[in-house]
Chains A and B, each alone.
Chain A
Amino acid sequence: MDRQAVETAPDAAADWPDRIYALLKRHSIRQVALVPDAGHARLIRRCLADNDLRVVTLTTEEEGIALMQGAWLGGQRGVLLMQSSGVGNCINMLSLATIHRCPMPMIVTMRGDFGEFNPAQVPMGQATQAVLEAMGTLVHRADRAEDVEPTVEATLKLAFHTYRPAATLIGQRVLGAKTFGKD
């Protein structure tokens, strides 16, 4: 199996990343903060190709929480794309959303759940929803490709209409488990 195939979710026919991109446009998102994940690769390519979206590649996910705070302060809407492991890096910075009642939508691609191969992904993957909820984030999961679009839309509305952190977790059943060629 070549490197590209290993790193890319196998369900490439599903168009849910394009549907997320359309939602970001419809909800007037201007700043897209991210630490890359293979599950978000197609969405990231769409965002990079759009001159009206500022893609901010972070060194750690908590920077994205702070970036969304600054964007909202200045009148722009941001979103944070990350892998489940990155949620752990955000914990204390998520205080900003509660302190200031700042909208902070997050779209999280899961590792360490359905069919995981890598033991190192399991601890944070299994803790992702609990950690987000412990910090006051409203969390919804999408475990089927057709659920991704309505779930992400609900997350964007909850964040921007009710001024709080909100997250969609896209399950590994949608993404396909990374197999390192061992399937």
Chain B
Amino acid sequence: MRAASGKLDRRELVRALLADRGDLLVVAGLGAPAWDITAVGDHPCNFPLWGGMGGAAMIGLGLALAQPRRPVLVITGDGEMLMGVGSLATIAQQAPANLAIVVQDNEHYGETGMQQTATAHGTDLATMAEGAGIRATMRVTAPEHVPSLVAATRAMAGPFFAVAKVDPANLPLVLPPREGAILQARMREALLGPAAHLA
């Protein structure tokens, strides 16, 4: 699961997070996390974002509050999480047990030319989550941490927040559907049945 750099391979990490996914609902931040969940296999209960930078965790919150019996997993990047970092305080206040957030931290803005983010200069998003009031956090830097990470995202004992340090390599694009109305409608139909379209 390690890349040549010794850091975690982001796609192998996501493959582990989504293995035997059961009832899992997945929101992916724009850019590489959206490509990563699609590389594992597109799914009606995947909601890959093409925009709304900074909003992935809050979409996860709204979804988790609406579907309290389903585990909700937000997979996003360090740049996307930094843009919406105040939402960690909002999530800590609401404290949904079924919400887990995993930041794939490659310390760079990967879609725009690999400029460094703040996490390359000492910012620790897990510490920021703890400061916001999220008590269950994890720092993932080695393959042996991954099984407990996967278990924590399914445990419904959240809110849970993890930072996984991943290799910064840009991997081949695997694009999800680009029509947002379809992405939204397919998850609503998976959750609510045909009545989703009569609401």
* A68 CB contacts on chain B under 8 angstroms: 62
A159 smallest CB distance to B (angstroms): 12
Do the beta carbons of A63 and B66 come within 8 Å of each other?
A: no
* B183 CB contacts on chain A under 8 angstroms: 100
B63 smallest CB distance to A (angstroms): 4
Number of contacting residues on B, CB 8 A? 38
Within 8 A of B (CB), among A14-57: 30-31, 54, 56-57
Whether a CB of chain B sits under 8 angstroms from the CB of A58 is: yes
Question: Per-position contact with B for A73-114: 1 when CB-CB < 8 Å, else 0?
Answer: 111101000000000000011011001111000000000000
Which of B51, B54, B61, B84 touches A70 (beta carbons < 8 Å)?
B61
Do the beta carbons of A56 and B66 come within 8 Å of each other?
A: no
Whether a CB of chain B sits under 8 angstroms from the CB of A60 is: yes
* B184 CB contacts on chain A under 8 angstroms: 72-73, 100-102
Whether a CB of chain A sits under 8 angstroms from the CB of B89 is: yes
Whether a CB of chain B sits under 8 angstroms from the CB of A71 is: yes
Docked complex Cα distance between A113 and B181 (Å): 36
* A92 CB contacts on chain B under 8 angstroms: 51-53
Which of B47, B50, B58 touches A63 (beta carbons < 8 Å)?
B58
Docked complex Cα distance between A95 and B93 (Å): 26
Whether a CB of chain B sits under 8 angstroms from the CB of A69 is: yes
Whether a CB of chain B sits under 8 angstroms from the CB of A4 is: no
Whether a CB of chain B sits under 8 angstroms from the CB of A66 is: yes
* A60 CB contacts on chain B under 8 angstroms: 86
* B63 CB contacts on chain A under 8 angstroms: 70-71, 73-74
* B54 CB contacts on chain A under 8 angstroms: 62, 66, 93
Docked complex Cα distance between A69 and B63 (Å): 8
Whether a CB of chain A sits under 8 angstroms from the CB of B38 is: no
Whether a CB of chain A sits under 8 angstroms from the CB of B127 is: no
Do the beta carbons of B181 and A73 come within 8 Å of each other?
A: no
Docked complex Cα distance between A56 and B66 (Å): 13
Do the beta carbons of B59 and A57 come within 8 Å of each other?
A: no
Question: Per-position contact with B for A108-133: 1 when CB-CB < 8 Å, else 0?
Answer: 00000000000000000000000000
Binding site for A on B (CB under 8 A): 25, 27, 47, 50-67, 84, 86-87, 89-90, 93-94, 180-181, 183-184, 187-188, 191-192, 196, 199
Known A31-B66, A63-B87, A72-B184; further 13 A-B contacts with Cβ < 8 A: A54-B94, A63-B86, A63-B90, A65-B52, A66-B52, A66-B59, A67-B58, A69-B55, A72-B188, A73-B62, A92-B52, A99-B52, A100-B181
| Contacts A/B (CB < 8 Å), 10 sampled | A56-B61, A56-B93, A57-B93, A58-B90, A59-B89, A65-B55, A70-B58, A70-B60, A73-B66, A96-B180
